[in-house]
Amino acid sequence: MFDVKKQIHEYKERQRDRGRLLVSCSDRPGIIAAISRFLFDHGANIIESSQYSLNPHGGEFFIRVAFECPELALKKAQIMSEFQEVADRFSMDWKLHLVSELKKTAIFVSKERHCLRELLWAWQNGDLMTDIALIISNHKEAKDEAEALNIPFFYMPASRENRAEVERKQLRLLAENDIDLIVLARYMQILTPNFVSSYPRQIINIHHSFLPAFVGARPYERAYQRGVKLIGATSHYVTNDLDEGPIIEQDVMRVDHRDDVDDLKKIGRNIERSVLIRAVKWHLEDRVIVHGNKTIVFS
């Protein structure tokens, strides 16, 4: 097992001159050339580039560029200011991220902890490069696991009656810790529009169904009643429409008539863990661009 703090420090040192640029705009000739020329003029070397066009004749264009630039942290403000001219020329929606500036993550969990454990395992192994700043739960079951890793744990029981008050406390806690990403690791509570609007495209949920099938509660029970032959899991960004947000990742596994509800749940937990990990990892690595209610994932 890695020493997490040491692992993160070494990673940030290795990546201190690396950045990622995400761009979306209407497709037209010269976009890639303009980005490449700009980075070259600022002493940067492109190390990875992926692009996708919905329609080369005026459709939407998306690109992710990973690059290395000496003393990038010192140049960041200047690069962002000067890139705005390129962005204006092509009407770009764009973001620049420094790899060494790790995102701060909060994990929300209820009683079931298989997704939480997978996240913590990947984090300890250096597979999820993030600062897990805190864990919030409406149950106490995850407290020991959080404290064993020196992650602050907050027990906040929520119900219909106190939901507004609890969310105010949660939002204050998230703001105090400068949280960039919220992961709902089987957090079995519906977030209010006020909460969701505070973190747009920054809340990732795992739903234990292959959406759009079996939206909402008890999907395994409904899948069993329907006699499905495939069950799955879906990781998506949270919006105010229940389980309707932009999908990041999905997977399925075959089942048959011999599998009862408990069997489906056991099989499903394995799918949930792997799907959530991939979605969180891709978000942390700036591989996801949201377009409408869909995503472009440069995996």
Question: What residues act catalytically?
Answer: 243
DSSP-assigned letters across all residues of 239-274: -SSTT-SPEEEEEEEE--TT--HHHHHHHHHHHHHH
Rounded to whole angstroms, the Cα distance separating 272 from 34 reads 41
Contact 7, 130 (CB under 8 A): no
Rounded to whole angstroms, the Cα distance separating 187 from 59 reads 38
Amino acid at 48: E
- What secondary structure letter does DSSP report for 202? -
Rounded to whole angstroms, the Cα distance separating 105 from 182 reads 6
Beta bridge partners of 64: 22, 50
Rounded to whole angstroms, the Cα distance separating 297 from 147 reads 34
Coarse DSSP helix, strand, coil percentages of the chain, rounded to the nearest 5 percent: 35, 25, 35
Give the β-pairing of 104-109 and 181-184: parallel
Rounded to whole angstroms, the Cα distance separating 20 from 53 reads 19
**Cα 37 versus chain centre, distance:** 30
Contact 133, 177 (CB under 8 A): yes
Q: What is the 3-state secondary structure (H, E, C) of 93-116?
A: EEEEEECCCCCEEEEEECCCCHHH
Query: In 3D, which of 241, 245, 244, 248 has the Cα closest to residue 193?
Result: 241
